Structure 1
Amino acid sequence: MARVSIVRRLRPPERYRFAGSVGALTLGRQDPCGHFVGEGFWLAARTPDGPGTLHLSPAGGELAAEAYGPGAAWLAERADAVAGLRDDVTGFAPLAAAHPVVARLAVTFHGLRMPATGLVFPRLLRAILEQKVTGREAHRAYRAICRHFGEPAPGPVPLLLPPDPAAVAATPYWTFHPFGVEQRRTQALLRAAQAAARLERCVDGAEATRRMTAIPGIGPWTAAEVVRVAYGDPDAVSVGDFHIPNTVAWALAGEARGTDARMLELLEPFPGHRGRVCELLAAGGIGAPRFGPRMPVRSFARF
């Protein structure tokens, strides 16, 4: 395939935090589908127009966006959304002022923006794998699955395209066992892959959430993890998370432990931006005190 690219120049907001804004789209350098190289960020994607790769790089106060492959036009058009530049923070500052911690973080991380890829299945794949296991287990399984279904992405950097949902849907569940994924998560993943085309046609996060949570094995936590990245939904709260209720309770009320109900109660003063508040707490490194042993890392491949 000839190397053909489309280039756009984007104007980020004042004090824009590039790495922090797009960091949610990757697992770091070990992510086979996207990572930072130097100061630039590379992301491989299966777009409605075909495979493509997007490169974002800060340059002289601007953000250069270059896209490759059959999906280049689609990626170039969405480059500003992927970088978080369509994230509307209008009206958040007065809400943030309701709590001193949130107000301080809103100023400190003023340039942090929430990306919106417009693509559901890649993030849904990760979110399903992250259900009820440690991050290390989930990320190991994600990398193994991406390599198993790996197809080279277009462009000058060696990346893999995210797994094709049609290929995932056609794979027997036992294939995923050596990757460390037990039958429950595998079945949820296969159902999601079968519904991927309908999910990608959703017009907004609300419709996507309804369709995802109608799939057995996908609940509110998984849906929130997806719409926060695919649609840049600043209000998406990961109800059912192991850590976030404790973090919110500790940061906003000084309580070492919190339930989902308590978390939602404390987030009520921030309508439309509850997920953004959770992201700011994470960016600020705020975490509740830890008690007891950590969750053990298991290997389902050896079961």
Structure 2
Amino acid sequence: MHAVDLSYRPPYDWAAIHGFLAARAIPGIEAAAPGYARTVAIDGRHGTVAVALEAGDRLRATIRADAAALPEIVARLRRVFDCAADPAAIGAGLARDPGLAPLVAARPGLRVPGAWCGFELGVRAILGQQVSVAAATRLAGRLVAALGTPFAGAAQPGLTHVFPGPDAIASADIAGLLGMPRARGAAIRALAAASLAEPDLFAPGQDPATAAARLTAIRGIGPWTAQYVAMRALRDADALPVGDIGLMRALDAGPGRPSPAQLLARAEAWRPWRAYAAMHLWTADAERSAPA
């Protein structure tokens, strides 16, 4: 077991990022009480990670995996928990919008949650098309139960599998297994095939336009899914899922929701932090929609 501290620039909104990940935790792969834990696979070797908030402007990661995999695991965890963000710069940029200023003031340490694996996130994004977060998470759990690899390591509560790789998904009848529309199942299979053909499809740091074009060239992946993947897996701070119903609902100040074109025009003022603006709006929308 290895204990590693993940430093960050304060403030850090742990409650928001933990809540986001907890709401999307896939049964068998992730657990979110009291901190966040998940299974991982690096070069075919299984392990687990657990992350919790510690005093002193750091997160504490408890890693059970081969020592040789530690640098890769730590780098991924820093992306998942957005440890490199500069809250002061992001807040100053977004606070210029009078509508966003109070949201930034209320949550100055809000992060954009990253993804452990780009392919996993892409599958989850397709599962989430046209359904709720809860429904998408249930579908992901069924996918893992059907195609995931049983976890090979010391038993951890609730952690039983690792997420299936593209080779396991490319040839499976996803729609039949999950009871979902055939077009959506075909999109997941197409994503798996593209990931096998292009191993760098989800590599962080790509040119945003090029990355979006590569993703939208896959049948069944549209601009929303490509931008969502860019936000979380490719770490594009300026990605924006235009047309997202939650964003437009959050911007409804009384006269009605903006159109996608109006949202895109307003978002020009949020550059280069549009992904963080989206997180603030999603968080505000979730708080507004939550039961009293």
Distance 1:163 1:80, change over 3 A: same
Higher mean alpha-carbon deviation, 158-167 vs 29-38, is at: 29-38
Give the SS at the match of 1:243: helix
Query: What letter is aligned with 2:243?
Result: G
- The alignment-based identity, stated in percent, is 26
Contact 2:175 2:186 in 1 (8 A): no
1:68 corresponds in structure 2 to 64
Please tell me whether residue 193 in structure 1 is matched to residue 192 in structure 2: yes
Query: What letter is aligned with 1:217?
Result: G
Question: How far does residue 164 in structure 1 lie from its aligned partner after superposition?
Answer: 1.5
Give a deviation string over 1:8-40, Cα, whole Å, max 9, x none: 1123333312232244445356633212122x2
Distance 1:12 1:105, change over 3 A: same
1:44 corresponds in structure 2 to 39
Contact 1:123 1:226 in 2 (8 A): yes
2:250 corresponds in structure 1 to 247
Structure 1 gaps of 5+ residues are 290-303
Q: Which runs of 4+ in 1 moved over 6 A?
A: 286-289
Query: What letter is aligned with 2:183?
Result: R
Please tell me whether residue 8 in structure 1 is matched to residue 32 in structure 2: no
Please tell me whether residue 54 in structure 1 is matched to residue 49 in structure 2: yes
Contact 1:53 1:72 in 2 (8 A): no
Contact 1:205 1:231 in 2 (8 A): no
Give the SS at the match of 1:14: coil
Aligned pairs for 1:193-212 (under 5 A) are: 193-196=192-195, 197-201=199-203, 203-204=205-206, 206=208, 207-212=210-215
TM-score normalised to structure 1 length: 0.81
Contact 1:24 1:229 in 2 (8 A): no
Query: What letter is aligned with 2:180?
Result: V
Please tell me whether residue 169 in structure 1 is matched to residue 167 in structure 2: no
Distance 1:181 1:67, change over 3 A: same
Give a deviation string over 1:196-250, Cα, whole Å, max 9, x none: 23424464362432221111111110111112111332322112323322323x1
Query: What letter is aligned with 1:218?
Result: I
1:129 corresponds in structure 2 to 127
Distance 1:27 1:150, change over 3 A: farther
Structure 2 gaps of 5+ residues are none
Aligned residue pairs total: 279
Please tell me whether residue 271 in structure 1 is matched to residue 267 in structure 2: no
| 2-structure distance, mates of 1:164, 1:176 | 17
| 1-structure distance, mates of 2:288, 2:23 | 23
Give a deviation string over 1:231-278, Cα, whole Å, max 9, x none: 332322112323322323x15xx4322211011112121111122112
| 2-structure distance, mates of 1:272, 1:124 | 23
Aligned pairs for 1:274-285 (under 5 A) are: 274-285=274-285
Question: How far does residue 100 in structure 1 lie from its aligned partner after superposition?
Answer: 2.7
Contact 1:18 1:83 in 2 (8 A): no
Give a deviation string over 1:29-66, Cα, whole Å, max 9, x none: 6633212122x211223345744322111223332112
| 1-structure distance, mates of 2:77, 2:257 | 39
Query: What letter is aligned with 1:199?
Result: L
Distance 1:212 1:13, change over 3 A: same
2:95 corresponds in structure 1 to 97
